[in-house]
Every structure is written in structure tokens, then in C-alpha cells.
Chains A and B, each alone.
Chain A
Amino acid sequence: MLKSARTILRGIKKNELLLFLIGLNLMLFNFVMVHHTNVAFRQLEFAIMLFTLSYFSGISLGYLFSDRLTEKVIIYLIPLFIVVQLLLIIYIQPLSYIITSVVNERYGGSNLTPELGVVTAYLIIFIILFLGGTSLFSIFLPKIIEAEESNIAKFYSIEVAGSIVGLLLIPILSSISHLLMIALYLVIFIIILLLLTRNKLVLILTIVPSLLFILFFNQLDKKYSGWFYKQWYGEKKIEKVIYTKYSPYQKIEMLQLSKRDKMLVLNGKRQFARGSHYNYSYFIAEYPINFLSNPSVCVLGCGSMSTVGRIGDISSSIDIVDIDEEVFNTSKKYFQKYNRLNKLNNWTFIADDAKHYLANSKKKYDLILHDIPPAYSRQIAMTYTEEFFKVAKSKLNDNGIFSISSLTPLSSRSEYGKRMIATLASVFDHYIILQYRGSAYFYGGNKKFDNISKKVLMEKVNHKGKKKIKFLLKYEIDKIVDGVKIITLDNLGDLIFE
């Protein structure tokens, strides 16, 4: 068997193997770096665009220089690229934060330049990715084709075959470990280098940082993430990062807070902290259940699942739907105090996209909770559209309730909340709004809302902040959203970039 493997290897020529590995690594690089760029810019949609553009611009740069760089120069560039990429993986989050704060402190802050720091950070990260990302890989294809008498079909298809294999490997590797994927990327990078040279200095300069990176990635990742959160949320509030998991969708982190509590962070954005259980989860889940009896519930988006803990005892069944099973596993482990999944036995978890699940589910519910984060990215924004709310409405039983929070005050200058409520009002026939501090909670679908008084609504509140609560009835809501443009699949960007 060894003999036959050797024969196969001998049969494969250097250039073919080189291009195959480059195709494979381009795919791995894409998947790894898009994750880290997303974390650095806290899942903003611009991060995806920034990375995609830098990825393809880097490829153009490589093509442009393919006949201007000698093999010797390329060989010396490889360790430099490795180091730049590894540093970027570790430091991209603190780096973008430092650039943003330094620029904002010095030049920003005025009405004209409120986002100057963020724009500068985007620009600098783009330049680094553009110069130090895919450009090195794309040098080889035109170079080899030119050298081997223009056999474009053969060489390009080998590189594409490498990408196909890379694509097939990603789901397997990412389900095992993010570090394993980076490790494979580095191993392939080293093999590529070995195919090009046996220069000891170059090999050492590439292998040593790669090994150090693999050995210390987990510690460094936690350390610099922790540093970032301390700057972002306050030195006193955050103690450290106690858990990190890279899922195919996002980086999931659990932070230890100073007051013996924990905070769930998804792609650098706070998802759940203690206060959410007492306010947000009460209003979105427990309050609307007052209008129902022993309801069947569907929770869209799991987060901490503190909502489940609040209504688990008074619901007949709870279906928890989230696209990312790892978020469910993390919250199940760290937030038992709030979600009580270990004590409840009337829940089911479904790993699916909310819209796909609702559209295909044969079940109807008495209560559907929209517990999905704010619409900062395209995928999430789709669950804030007229199209999505219509699907949700169709899955409600008679007098069922759809519950969702605007997360921004209706009176603010931002149109975000108002447009969301306008969209909901255009879909549902019966609705009310509960306002508490900066949030507006929309309850739609139940006919009782048409002829209910604010006094009755208030009587059903069992929350210590009762005095600060205000209700809006349908006619008041209609006045507020009169003329406000609704959100559809056609204008998702309005919501994402608002």
C-alpha cells in the first residue's frame, strides 16, 4: 500500500500539487478570515463586504504581479505573509478597536465625522487583507500556465479541484475545532513552501511562528478577546473570557463578569446578561402568556433561553429554534440558572433557520417569540421583514400571539423601531405595544387586544418597574407609524445600515 502511495505521489508533478494545495488553502483562508473579520467588526454587514472585496482584490493583485515577482522573492514573501495572517487572526479585534478609538479621540466626535474611527479601521484592515491575504496564492496560477505553454484547462481545473476539496473539508473541520482548521491551513502553507524551497532560514521563519501559533492560539485568543471586552464594557465589569467556541456561523464566547455572573457574546456582540432575564425576557415571554392558557410556544432564536425558564412551567410545549446549535449547547451549559432546561421536560430544540422552520412546520402555536438579535446582518434582517412576519402570522393558532421587541425607543431619532412596528402593524390585524424604558414590545394576533383597556393591560403586569410601563393601543400605534415605510426583502439595507 505504501508503495502504491509512493508511486502515486511520484506521478504527481510539483506544479499540479502546488496548485491543488493553493486551491484548498484559498477556501480555508476564506472561511477562517471571514470569521475573524466578522468578530472584529462585531458582525456588522460591512465586515462581510470588506472581507469579500479584500479577498477578490487580493487575487487581482496577485495576478498583476504574477510575472513581475521571481520565485526567490515569492519564497521570501511566504514567511512574511504567514506572520501577517497569524497576527491578524489574533489581533484583528483589538486592532480595529485601537484604530477606532485613537482616530475618534484625535479627529472624530464632531457631527461631521462620528464614524471616522470605524471607517479608518475598516480601511486599514482592508489594506492588510488586500496585501497580505489572497494575493500570494493567486500569483502561481498565471505564472505556471505561462511556464507550461498555456495549458489553462489542466492547471485551472487542478486549482478548482483543490477548492472543491477544501470546501468539502470545512464542515468536517469546523465541527471538530476552529484551531484544527487553522492548523491544516498552516500545514498546507508549509507544504507549499517545501515544494518551492529547502532554504532553512525561510522554513524556520515559517514553521516556528506556525507552531507557536497552534500551541498558544487558545490562550492568546481568550487573552486579547478579554482585553477587548474590558475596554468595550468596562474594566470593572468584565473579569475574563471563560469559554470560546467557533461555530460555522459565529464566535461564541462566555464572559465571567465581576458579580459572579456571566455574559453571552456572539461575534463580539453582547447577547445576554443578567438584566435581560428580569426585563427583556419578562416582557417578551411572560407578559403575553397572561392572555393565553397553557399555550404551545415557539421561541425563534435561543440566546440564553432565559425566556424558556420564565414560561416553562406555564406552557404545554416549547419548541426552541435556532440556526446555530452551538449557541444552544453553550447556553444550556452556562445559563441553567435562567433557562432551567435541566428541570423542564416540555422543550424541544430544532437546529434550523427560523424562516425555513416556520414555513415548513405543520405545527401552529399559541405564542411565537421572536428572540433573534437586532438586524445588523442580512440573514438576521430577513426575519424583520413583512415577508417573514406574514409567515409567522400564518403559524399562529386563533388568538395566538406574536411577541417581539423593537429594542429601540419609538420616540428616538432612529427610524429602526418605528419601521419595524410599521411593518408589524401592516401584517397583524390586532395589536398592542408595551413600552418600558428604551424598548417597545409588540404583541400581535390576539383579538382581545381590540377591545382591551390600558387599565386591564396594566393589571396583568407583574414587574417591579410597573410604574415606568406605558401601553399603546392600536389606534395610537397607527398614528405613530402613519406614513412610515415598511421593511421588505427589497430594502433590508435600510434596517441593517440605519
Chain B
Amino acid sequence: MNNNITSSFADKYSINFNSVVAFFIGVFFALIQFCYFFILEAYVSSRVSIYFIALLFWLIGFFIGLRLKSNNLLLKLLVASLVLYYITLFFNILIPFEKTSLLLSGTAILISGLSPGYYFIYAKKKFSKIKLLFLHENNGFILGVILSFSGVYFSGSWMLYFAPLISFLIVFALLSFSTDKKREQT
């Protein structure tokens, strides 16, 4: 009986843990996406076309990410997102309002967009119902939107420099913990 209780708790815990991962990964996606928008807005142009281009590249990346077939790409894609984000940030700060930066930024955004698309493929089996995956990821995204807006109003540089990194580290820790847990179970 004790075993049953433990296993049911473990099952429940496992679901909750996956929800936490989905939630924080949603926060990370929102922060990185909105930080890209803010970089372009502050260091390239506030024209609406810039916003459209950024969103277009993000969605194309997302679309391709959903179609990726390889396994175990998530962490690599997340790291690539983060690295490219910082390259874009520093390039735009060092050479602001540069027309060619849009090409670099667009490519970086497209590649960063791969990870959210791929995440849904990666995480689908971890949830009993697909709606829970969507729900928790989107709730995290909402928190990320709130953090992005408040950050950019009251501590612009700090937000652009550190928020994506911090949220990435949380996601990284959660994913590592999840892998360790899996190994222990095996």
C-alpha cells in the first residue's frame, strides 16, 4: 500500500515537475522573444516593419522547430538561442542603427525560434494531456511577458543583459534535474 502511495505521488510529482519545466521554459521563450523586440526597437528602429520582420523570423523558426525530427536537440537549441541572443545584443549595442544588423538579428531570431517549436515535440510525451503542455508553457509565457515589460520600463539594460540568461539557467537546472531523475529511475 505504501508503495502504491509512493508511486502515485511520484506520478503526480512527475506531472507537476514537467509542468514546472514547461512553465519556466515558457518564461524563457517570452523573455528572449520580447528582448529581441526591445533590442531592435531601441538600437535599430521603432518602425512597425521591424516588429513584423522580427515576428516573422520567430514564427518561421518556430515552424521549422516543429518539423525537426532529431532527438535530444532541446538543450543544444536553447544554448544556441541564448548565444545568438547575446551576439545580437552586443552587435546592436556596439554598432547601433546599422542596417546590416537586421540581417544578423533576423537570422538569430529565426534560429532562436527553433527551440520553442522543437520544445513541443520534445515535451509532448511528458504530459498525459496535450492541453496541459500548452497551458503550462503559455502561463509561463504570460509571466515572461509581464517580466519583459516591467523590466524594460524600469531597468532596461539590466533586463536585456541578464533576464534571458537567468531564465535560461533556471531552465537548464530543471532540465538537468529531470535527466538525473530519469537516470536514477533507470
Contact = CB atoms under 8 A, between A and B. Distances in A.
A131 to B, nearest CB: 16
Interface residues of A, number: 51
A164 B60 contact: yes
20 contacts: A45-B153, A56-B142, A57-B142, A60-B138, A64-B131, A150-B124, A152-B130, A153-B121, A157-B63, A157-B66, A160-B62, A164-B56, A164-B60, A171-B49, A352-B45, A356-B44, A356-B45, A490-B155, A491-B153, A492-B152
Contacts of B48: 171, 248-249
Given A53-B142, A53-B146, A152 B124 contact: yes
Interface in B31-71: 41-42, 44-49, 52, 55-56, 59-60, 62-63, 66-67
B76 interface: no
A93 interface: no
A60 B157 contact: no
A171 B41 CA distance: 18
Contacts of B59: 160, 163-164, 167
B69 to A, nearest CB: 9
A388 B66 CA distance: 40
B62 A490 contact: no
Contacts of A493: 150, 152-154
B172 interface: no
Contacts of B62: 160
A203 B60 CA distance: 34
A142 B96 contact: no
Interface in A38-87: 45, 49, 52-53, 56-57, 59-60, 63-64, 66-67
Given A56-B145, A63-B134, A142-B129, 10 more contacts: A49-B146, A52-B149, A53-B142, A56-B138, A64-B135, A157-B63, A160-B62, A171-B52, A491-B153, A491-B156
A161 interface: yes
Given A66-B131, A153-B121, A171-B49, A378 B67 contact: no
Contacts of B96: 359
A360 to B, nearest CB: 6
A156 interface: yes
B99 interface: yes
A66 B142 CA distance: 19
A122 to B, nearest CB: 14
A156 B145 contact: no
Given A141-B134, A157-B66, A323-B46, A60 B139 contact: yes
A87 B138 CA distance: 28
Interface in A139-194: 141-142, 145-146, 150, 152-153, 156-157, 160-161, 163-164, 167-168, 170-171
Contacts of A53: 142, 145-146
A156 B46 contact: no
Given A60-B142, A352-B47, A145 B155 contact: no
Interface string A479-498: 00000000011111110110
A353 interface: yes
